[in-house]
Structure 1
Amino acid sequence: MTLLSIGTSHHSAPLTTLEATALTTPDVIRLLDRLAESPAVAEAVVLATCNRTELYADTEDADTVLAHFVAALAETGGEDTGELRSMLRVRRRQSAAEHLFTVASGLDSLLVGDHQIRGQVRAAYNLAREHGTVGPVLHGLFQRALRAGKRVETETRLGGAASGLVAIALDAAAELAGPLEGHRALVIGSGNLGSLSAVALHRAGLAEVTVVNRTARAAERLAAELGIRTVAWAQLPEALCRAELVVSATGARNAVLTRDLVVAALAERPGSTKVLIDLALPRDIDPSVASLAGVRLIDLVRLETRLKEASERVPIAEAHRIVAAEARCYETERHRDAATPAIVAMRKSAMAVVDEEVDRLLHRVPTLPGQLRGEVEQTARRIARKLIHRPTVRVREMATETGGHTYVEVLHDLFGPEPAGTARTSNSNGGER
């Protein structure tokens, strides 16, 4: 089996393609079920966020996994499979592990330092575990990746990417509409980005900030914390008419603000201007509204250059050092774990020989007192343990070295189960032939 990572992200595909092929939770579940049915796939986790869709698998058939993954993306977005394949990046073994560590630490995000991704990594792992596609390999990998992400957050100055995204978007809005103070704002969505947007707008001194969310309780809680307004989801059209600045950040699969909804809002206030900020992917706001008179649309596609420039200014050296250290620890532990079955086989083989020879001796000397019989057995076992101690230590050490798998394989050949149909026979002197 081989650890495999296949995926597409903002590094290899345009945001428009990522939007079209974004997998919803039901899509992910269907893909996991499809992979679980394949005998070539032992374990699988799908990480689907707004800026990436990646599959991590323990498999003996990379081609099968790749075909399932491409088919899932093509079915979702209606994209050409050939084009999708060209946008995929395939990583194996240590490279796949290091990539997940980098992702979980926010170092591979559209805006470097995004710690929200760690929660998404954990959610992807939990979903796969609930559907029975996580085993010891991916369990160890994802737990270590989450640990690396936590260390980066707590031990470095890297962070605040989500609030940084909101700040960049609001700066862009101010360039289009002038100072934001005195404007009325509407925030659609009360998740991480929606909450941060509401906080930023409240602190910016706007005349009014209103939050709306499909789940009323979440919006009411946020509004109570900040002392801002909230309205029911059914009142979204009226709230849109009232606002001059709108920030939308939901997890909806389809547009929340359609062209018809925006046209109707503009008609209620002829001559007005609305700045619409879309922080979601897939997009919350129909991109065609950008052509409407009185609309200024800001979305992640239009912010991409600003986000890349901001990422280049983030201090990441220490974060990369932590990720590299955690990746090395993971590889060391993985190699040591791989040697364990061989070591167990060696110990069982040695003790089996001890038991066999002690039994033979005791049968030859049936009059030996019980106390001495126990001493003979214990002495033989101590000798065996001392003889295999050094090989055990060395095998664990060698397993972590380059080419260490060769040592482990030799140990398996020497002490593992014998092939079916073979047996050891004893000659007249009690030896093996």
Structure 2
Amino acid sequence: MTLLSMGTSHHLAPLALLEATALTTPDVIRLLDRFADSPAVPEAVLLATCNRTELYVHTDADAADDPDAADTVLALFVAALAQAGGADPAELRSMLCVRRQREAVEHLFTVVSGLDSLLIGDQQIRGQVRAAYQLADERGTVGPVLHGLFQRALRVGKRVENETRIGAAASCLVTVALEAAARLAGPLERHRALVLGSGNLGSLSAVALHRAGLSEITVVNRTARTAERLARELGVHTATWPQLPQALRRADLVVSATGARNPVLTRELVVDALTARPGGVKVLIDLALPRDIDPAVATLPGVQLIDLVGLETRLKEVSRRVPIAEAHRIVAAETGAYQTERHRDAATGAIVAMRRSAMAVVDEEVDRLLHRVPTLPGQVRGEVERTARRIASKLIHRPTVRLREMATETGGHTYVEVLHDLFGPEPAGTAGAPNSNGGER
């Protein structure tokens, strides 16, 4: 059995490629359904955020590092991802990283703890991992292995936050963006702001702007109900999506994070707003991937565009100041504990299979003996059965002890797999078939 993770992130690919491979929820559902139809992927969870697209799978391959299993899943993933996102398969493949077994576990624990984010200590990633797991569970692609892994990962992320306060130590993406806006446009409280989107980033933006004391904040969202709820909580304005052109004309500062597939603020819309109110729109902040704002607006006189590409260097500078050594120590310890538990569970299964097989042989041979000697008294018959079982128990005692010991040692999974192969369930239709020694395989 093999645990794999494969995918790309801001560490491996330029933001332009991440933008091309960004997946919407319907995209993720289609991919999960495609994996569900493939015998090569019995369990799968797809994590798709603005800075990463990663697939976690559990396969039935016998060898822990079976390259064929990884290649099969990788080919399926690249083809599906390229088709959904429109990226070139060859370029996409060059930007993907494949991790196996312990490395895959440690990577997931690192991601969910915010240690692999564009901004170290990202508070949103744990919710995104939970949402990815829940969606996969709803589509029927989560089995016992990934269920246990992702439940453990979410607990690890919470532990890292509780024990290190890593999230509080790092500035959020919104804060960094607003700091950049203040450097370009002066004190923000003098401006009127327009926030597009009321999801995680949109809500954080509205809250940050409200705390900054802006004179006017308007929230616009395609679903009016969520925008209205946010507006009530903060005491700010709201506008419907068709009213976006009018709201844009009143704004000096725009923050956009809608999650749309295509730009929602085109150059034409911004030109229209500036024509209606010359000198109005000064700074536009695009926190979305794919982009919400047409990059061409940066060519307009007096307009400044801030996007993830421009913020990347600043985010890395902030991240470097975050104390992360203790967080990595926790991740390493949790990874080791998870692997030990998994190996012990596998060893327990092998031990149960070995004992079941041994006792099946005992029952078969005792039954054969008693059938040949039907005149044995009942007391003797019972003693024969008990003696045979004691012999079998003594014979498998030392292998059982050693298997428990070796299960937690480096390379111990090999011994467990051998015993599973020797004593595990037979293929359908062959159970109970005798081997050359008259017993069961």
Q: TM-score, normalised by structure 2?
A: 0.88
Alpha-carbon distance in structure 2 between the residues aligned to 1:221 and 1:6: 38
Shift of 1:373: 6.5
User: Which residue matches 2:217?
Assistant: 209
Cα distance per residue 1:244-271 (max 9 Å; x no partner) = 1111111211112121111111111113
Which residue is equivalent to 1:53?
Answer: 53
| CA offsets 1:195-222 (integer angstroms, 9 cap, x no match) | 1111111111111122122222211221
| Contact in 1 for aligned 2:170/2:319 (Cα 8 Å) | no
Q: Give the Cα–Cα distance (whole angstroms) in 2 for the partners of residues 413 and 205 of structure 1.
A: 67
Q: Equivalent residue of 2:194, what SS?
A: strand
Q: Which amino acid aligns with 1:191?
A: G
2:310 partner amino acid = R
State the alpha-carbon separation in 2 of the partners of residues 354 and 132 from structure 1.
41
Q: Distance in 2 between matches of 1:409 and 1:170?
A: 55
- Residue 205 of structure 2 is matched in structure 1 by 197
Query: Following the alignment from structure 1 to structure 2, what is the Cα–Cα distance between the partners of residues 162 and 255?
Result: 29
SS at match of 2:99: strand
Instruction: Give aligned pairs, total.
Output: 427
Match of 1:401 among 399, 404, 409: 409
List aligned pairs for 1:137-176, cutoff 5 A.
Answer: 137-160=145-168, 164-176=172-184
Distance of aligned partners of 1:82 and 1:378 in 2 relative to their CA distance in 1, 3 Å threshold: same
**Residue pair 2:251, 2:281 contacting (<8 A) in 1 also:** no
The within-5 A match list for 1:268-287 is 268-287=276-295
Q: Which secondary structure does the structure 2 equivalent of 1:181 belong to? A: helix
What's the CA shift string for 1:324-377, capped at 9, x where partnerless?
A: 11111121122222223321222113323443465567664757467x876775
Aligned pairs for 1:352-431 (under 5 A) are 352-356=360-364, 359=367, 364=373, 368=377, 381=389, 384-385=392-393, 388-412=396-420, 415-416=423-424, 422-423=434-435
For 2:382 and 2:96, how far apart are their aligned partners in 1?
A: 65
Equivalents in 1 of 2:109, 2:363: separation in Å?
47
C-alpha displacement of 1:32 = 2.4
Change beyond 3 A, Cα 1:162–1:277 = farther
Which SS does the other structure have where 2:283 is aligned?
strand
Distance (whole Å) between structure 2 residues aligned to residue 300 and residue 359 of structure 1? 74
In the alignment, structure 1 segments of 5+ residues that lack a partner are none
**1:288-307 equivalence runs, <5 A:** 288-307=296-315
Cα 1:195/1:162, change in 2 over 3 Å? farther
**Which of 110, 123, 142 is matched with 1:115 structurally?**
123
In the alignment, the residues of structure 2 paired with residue 422 and residue 356 of structure 1 have an alpha-carbon distance, to the nearest angstrom, of 10
**Equivalences for residues 71-86 of structure 1 within 5 A:** 71-86=79-94
Residue 417 (structure 1) shift: 6.2
The amino acid across from 2:20 in the alignment is A
Tell me, yes or no, if the aligned pair for 1:157 and 1:315 is still in contact at 8 Å. Answer: no
Output the CA distance in 2 between the equivalents of 1:251 and 1:118.
18
Q: Does 1:101 align with 2:109?
A: yes
The equivalences for 1:332-351 within 5 A come to 332-351=340-359
Q: CA deviation at 1:159?
A: 0.6
Match for residue 218 of structure 1 among 212, 226, 244: 226
2:301 maps to a residue whose letter is A
Deviation at 1:134, TM superposition (A): 2.0
| CA distance in structure 1 between the aligned counterparts of 2:294 and 2:169, rounded to whole angstroms | 25
What corresponds to 1:30 in structure 2? 30
Does the Cα contact within 8 Å between 1:162 and 1:193 map onto a contact in 2? no
Structure 2 CA distance for partners of 1:182 and 1:283, relative to 1, 3 Å: same
CA shift in 2, pair 1:47/1:412, >3 Å: closer
In structure 1, the residue corresponding to 2:105 is in which secondary structure?
helix
Find the residue that maps to 1:3 and give its secondary structure. strand
- Which amino acid letter does the alignment assign opposite residue 94 of structure 1? R
Deviation string for 1:214-233 (max 9, x for gaps)? 22221122111112222222
Amino acid at match of 1:332: T
Counterpart position of 1:39:
39
Residues 425/10 of structure 1: CA separation in 2 closer, same or farther (3 Å cut): closer
Q: RMSD across aligned C-alpha pairs, in angstroms? A: 2.8
Are residues 1:250 and 2:273 paired?
no
Structure 2 residue runs of 5 or longer lacking an equivalent are 62-68
SS of the residue corresponding to residue 188 of structure 2 reads coil
Answer with 306-315 or 77-86: which moved more: 77-86
CA distance in 2, matches of 1:87, 1:413: 36
Partner-residue secondary structure (3-state), 2:56: strand
Query: Is the Cα contact below 8 Å between 2:251 and 2:280 reproduced in 1?
Result: no
Closer, same or farther in 2 for the Cα pair 1:58/1:415, shift >3 Å?
closer
Inter-partner Cα distance in structure 1 for 2:312 and 2:87: 22
Distance 1:360 1:326, change over 3 A: same
On the 8 A contact 1:112/1:161 being kept in 2, the answer is no
- 1:62 pairs with 2:70: yes
Bigger drift between 172-181 and 51-60 goes to 51-60
| Cα displacement (A) at 1:318 | 1.1
**Identity between Structure 1 and Structure 2 (%):** 79
Could you tell me how far 1:285 is from its partner in structure 2?
Answer: 1.1
Q: Please name the residue that 1:7 is paired with.
A: 7
- 2:171 touches 2:318 (CA, 8 Å); kept in 1? no
Contact 1:22 1:73 in 2 (8 A): no
State the alpha-carbon separation in 2 of the partners of residues 185 and 115 from structure 1: 24
- Return the alpha-carbon distance in structure 1 between the equivalents of residues 208 and 41 of structure 2: 46
1:91 aligned residue: 99
Q: Check the 8 A contact 1:4/1:91 in 2, yes or no.
A: yes
- Relative to the length of structure 1, the TM-score reads 0.89
Asked whether the equivalents of residues 118 and 316 of structure 2 are also in contact (C-alpha less than 8 Å), the reply is yes
Q: 1:218 to 1:87 in 2, by over 3 A?
A: same
| 3-state SS in 1 of match to 2:167 | coil
CA distance in 2 between partners of 1:313 and 1:95 (Å): 26
**What CA distance in whole angstroms lies between the structure 1 residues aligned with 2:357 and 2:76?**
43
For 1:205, what is the secondary structure of its paired residue? coil
Shift of 1:13: 0.8
Query: Which residue does 1:127 correspond to in 2?
Result: 135
